[in-house]
Amino acid sequence: MNEFYSIPENNKELVNEYQIRDLGEKRISMILGSSSNRGRESSSSKIYKKVTTEDYDIQFARKLTTFKPPYDLEKVLDYHLSYYVNSGNQKEKFIKHIKYVIIPIVEKRKQNKIYIELITNWINHKMGEKKEETGNIILKTGDINSPLQVQINSDNSTQSQTIKYSNEDIFKLFEFLKNDLHKIENDLREDLQTEIENASKQLDKGNDIKNRLLTIGGLMKDVGIGVFTNLIASPIYQMVKPHLGL
């Protein structure tokens, strides 16, 4: 396969419109035909070629240039970027792959101007995002009903980053998760739904739900982070990831 993309294994159905197909081990590269008896009878033979990582690059480029509406192709890029990063890889490498491998493929297709522009804009946006600070992490929490502040200090910089979210943000998180529950197998779906409901009840009562959030994050890992497309595409995802243990 290809490490950069979310692909269902063993030719299983796609879990959403953003994934690309499993191409298997071989693909048809040529069909040879012959005819006899003035063309009334014919025969053909197929020549197969081993599937390569480049075949998946071509499929991904095709996905981008056929996605409707075209201005939403950034959702496809964000989805596979999240999959790649959540698999333990570096965002910068994915962006380079799109820039130096996918764009040259797109350039060979007809009517490619709009897609190249959209992909290039996405690359520029991602490259312009401020890198996350690294270093010591200090969590400051007060009353659970008030906004929770997370301050991240870097040993190598005087800069600091403050992230705040409220109970409303947590309820939004739960709504995004619920929108993806139908994609999950029965047992895991029921476990995750139960944890979300219990956490919501505790949050309503003003109780600390730190451990419940970690439990929910653990269940998400078991399912596969790439399944939760609604959450990944939301603006609060990066904010709540640390508290889900992701």
Would you call 164 helix, strand, or coil by DSSP?
Answer: strand
Residue 4 main-chain phi, psi, to 5 deg? -80, -15
Work out the mean pLDDT of the chain and round it to a whole number: 78
Confidence of residue 143 (pLDDT cuts 50, 70, 90): very low
Confidence of residue 77 (pLDDT cuts 50, 70, 90): very high
Whether the CB-CB separation of 223 and 184 falls below 8 Å is answered with yes
Indicate if the pLDDT at residue 78 is higher than 90: yes
Query: What pLDDT is attached to residue 201?
Result: 86
Query: What pLDDT is attached to residue 6?
Result: 93
Query: What pLDDT is attached to residue 157?
Result: 42
Name the residue with tokens 């897609």. 115
DSSP 144: T
Would you call 158 helix, strand, or coil by DSSP?
Answer: coil
Indicate if the pLDDT at residue 32 is higher than 60: no
DSSP 2: -
Angle at 40 between CA 39 and CA 43, to 5 degrees: 75
Would you call 185 helix, strand, or coil by DSSP?
Answer: coil
Whether the CB-CB separation of 109 and 65 falls below 8 Å is answered with yes
Sheet strands (E) in 40-129: 41-50
Secondary structure tally for the chain: helices H, strands E: 10, 5
Indicate if the pLDDT at residue 190 is higher than 90: no
Name the residue with tokens 């040879």. 32
More confident residue, 142 or 17: 17
Query: What pLDDT is attached to residue 149?
Result: 46
Q: Lowest mean pLDDT: which of 38-47, 91-100, 123-132?
A: 38-47
Confidence of residue 139 (pLDDT cuts 50, 70, 90): very low
Confidence of residue 132 (pLDDT cuts 50, 70, 90): very low
More confident residue, 41 or 175: 175
Interatomic CA distance for residues 236 and 230, integer angstroms:
11
- For residue 206, the Cα-to-chain-centroid distance in whole angstroms is 33
Query: What pLDDT is attached to residue 160?
Result: 38
Interatomic CA distance for residues 137 and 133, integer angstroms:
10
Look up residue 184 and give its two tokens.
Answer: 């999950």
Query: What pLDDT is attached to residue 40?
Result: 55
Q: Where are the domains of the chain?
A: 9-128, 137-244
Q: Lowest mean pLDDT: which of 83-87, 105-109, 132-136, 177-181?
A: 132-136
Who's near 205: CB < 8 A, 6+ residues apart?
A: none
Indicate if the pLDDT at residue 246 is higher than 70: yes
Mean pLDDT of 62-90: 93
Angle at 175 between CA 170 and CA 180, to 5 degrees: 130
